[in-house]
Structure 1
Amino acid sequence: MSRIVKKRKEDIGLSPDDISFRGEQKMDKILLRLIDFDVENLEEKVVEKIDTLLEYQKKPTVTWFNVDGLHDTKIIEEIGEGFNFDKLVLAEVMDAQARPKVHDFGDCILLSIKMLQQNEENSLISVENLSVVLNDSVLMSFQEKRGDVFEPVRERIRNQKKRIRTGGTDYLTFALLDIVVDNYIYIVGVLGEKIETLEETLLQEPRKSVIDEIYTYKREMNFLRKNITPAKEMILALSKLESELIRESSHIHFKELLDNINQAIDSSETYREILSDQLNIYHTTISSKLNDVMKFLTIFSVIFIPLTFIAGIYGTNFDVLPELKYEYSYFIMLGVMIILAFGMLLYFRKRKWL
């Protein structure tokens, strides 16, 4: 599956507020989950109908409504009608390939960012689009598929952590983004540890599989950079956003997010440079070993060239050659040739020239 954003031909020329799903369907049925809370009370449930959500708009609590799956246009339209969202908001939510951004619509704020997850078996990184729409009392998060990425935030709410229970939708937004950015740092760190272990292998045994690993990690680091850099731009814009929906006390948290994502970018750049250095080490080591091989073969050739020259002039055309009368001389000669060739192959392999 390609991880590069591709423009579909059927999407060309669509209106900016066209509500149609642009992306890859990653689950069969949309899952709607709701958490409503304040300092004292907590309600958590799976929602079957959008009408159920409308009663929470006027409650003095914080409501977090999470949508897993974006392919059902009808449900997204019902959400937009129920909460009176601008069509541009819904169009952005349905575009899973959109670049990370933040936009203030006055009555709500829309932001999107890429969530990254790493496959522990093959170290490959997958990407998923996350959109968040918030107003003064309701936060809606839209994911492409169901996952447990935000389960730590849910646990903090369930365990009555005072800060998140009293923070409002803007602080809840920070908590979700913090999970995403922390995951960036974690993935960079995991890849970084594997990259650092390659250097010892390169110096000891620069085999072909090592260079394949370097190219794999280099590709993953480039993919990380492609997704983290736009996320930094979004968070920077969010930290400077002047909106009544974001309290002054929350700006310091968004600036903290900016510091964290800068850490992820700096680390990824460092490891990209390390990979480039490792490529140079590999090629330098291979060149050095090749020089050793050429040195040995040159010495070997210098010794045998004059011997071959003499044999070429005089041959073995002498009157007295004891082996000519021996019955098995030919087979002995063949055996010596085979043993000599096999012995040289073993020697080359022992020296890791083959």
Structure 2
Amino acid sequence: MAQFKKDFGKFEWLDIEKPKQTELIDLTHPFYIDINLLDDALEHGHLPKLEKHGVFTFLIFRAFTVEPHLNHTTVAKLSNKVAFLINDDNLITIHQKPFPFLDKFKDREFGDPEALMLAIVFEMLLSFEAPVNWLSDKMDENEKEIFLKKHGKVSIEQLYYQKSKARICRKLLQFSHNVLNQLVVKQENVSNLQDIRESIINYMLQLEEVIEDAQSILNTHLSLTAQKSNDVMKLLTVFSAFFLPLTFIVGVYGMNFTNIPELHWRWGYYVTWGVMISISVVIFLWFKRKKFV
């Protein structure tokens, strides 16, 4: 466990990293914090929430903490959380994973715990910017592959991971937005809170566009695949139409019967060839007229 404590004059900030349950209980014992809140703070995959208990307001927010290209499809693998316990005199932050952006707040001054909490939440929100931009770029690449390149092949597996990642990020941001809508802050912090809300909405709209694009690309890919299959079947049908009557003629004259008069005709071989060529020309002209070829 690692901890950092700073007195800002008007309030104190206690940051606790990777605590065990017994250590967390000992550290927060002077604040008389409910054990259920501490359990939520230690739960790895807990979603964003807000809960009031006594003089403390308890909040959980999640930050995106993996490389955008990694194929993860669960909340716990894509993000990590910070739990906040805040009142007028104290801010306690609890997290299992290190967050480098917390270090830059250790040397800055804040007038109240709400301002520090909102600054941390804003940094957590910014962690979604890289995956949102990466997903948008990937959708653009997929669209170019489908519509501009000759073969038009996309990886269905990668498209699935990209769509799942966008859906999970959007849900996390939606939960975070709901928490922020319930949060009441002092008048001097209202502007910062509103900026965070607007940023979340912006990211959510981008992710909705990514999800829609992914579904559209998938539908287009399936349509193109079906069209290619239809083209193959059409080609096979054309060949069958040409060779079926020719195969019938060859089959007739390939029978092992003695009494086949045409076999003894002087021009029988050439006549048979002429008939087969004529049939092929007629079939071709008919297909051409019907615009099958």
Q: Same fold (TM over 0.5)?
A: yes
Which residue in the other structure is 1:25 paired with? none
User: Does the 8 Å contact 1:118/1:187 carry over to 2?
Assistant: no
SS at match of 1:119: coil
Amino acid at match of 2:119: A
Shift of 1:224: 1.6
CA-to-aligned-CA distance 1:72-99 (integer Å, 9 cap, x gap): 1111111221233343432332333333
Give % identity: 20
Q: Does 1:105 align with 2:50?
A: no
User: Does the 8 Å contact 1:69/1:143 carry over to 2?
Assistant: yes
Which residue in the other structure is 1:130 paired with? 82
CA distance in 2, matches of 1:262, 1:118: 22
SS at match of 1:103: strand
CA distance in 2, matches of 1:311, 1:121: 61
- Structure having the higher helix fraction is 2
Which residue in the other structure is 1:309 paired with? 248
CA distance in 2, matches of 1:309, 1:134: 89
Q: Does 1:296 align with 2:235?
A: yes
CA distance in 1, matches of 2:126, 2:25: 32
User: Does the 8 Å contact 2:42/2:96 carry over to 1?
Assistant: no
2:13 to 44, 50, 64: 64
Shift of 1:181: 1.3
Q: Does 1:201 align with 2:150?
A: no
C-alpha change, 1:113 and 1:274, in structure 2 (3 Å) is same
C-alpha change, 1:290 and 1:199, in structure 2 (3 Å) is same
CA distance in 2, matches of 1:309, 1:216: 53
CA distance in 1, matches of 2:11, 2:68: 36
C-alpha change, 1:258 and 1:280, in structure 2 (3 Å) is same
Amino acid at match of 2:104: E
Which structure is larger by alpha-carbon Rg, 1 or 2?
2
CA distance in 1, matches of 2:36, 2:235: 72
Shift of 1:186: 2.9
Between the two proteins, the alignment pairs up a number of residues equal to 253
User: Does the 8 Å contact 1:130/1:142 carry over to 2?
Assistant: yes
Which residue in the other structure is 1:174 paired with? 118
SS at match of 1:96: coil
Unaligned runs of 5+ in 2: 257-262, 265-293
Which residue in the other structure is 1:211 paired with? 156
Unaligned runs of 5+ in 1: 1-29, 39-59, 320-354
Which residue in the other structure is 1:114 paired with? 62
Shift of 1:297: 1.5
SS at match of 1:136: coil
Q: Does 1:220 align with 2:165?
A: yes
SS at match of 2:88: coil
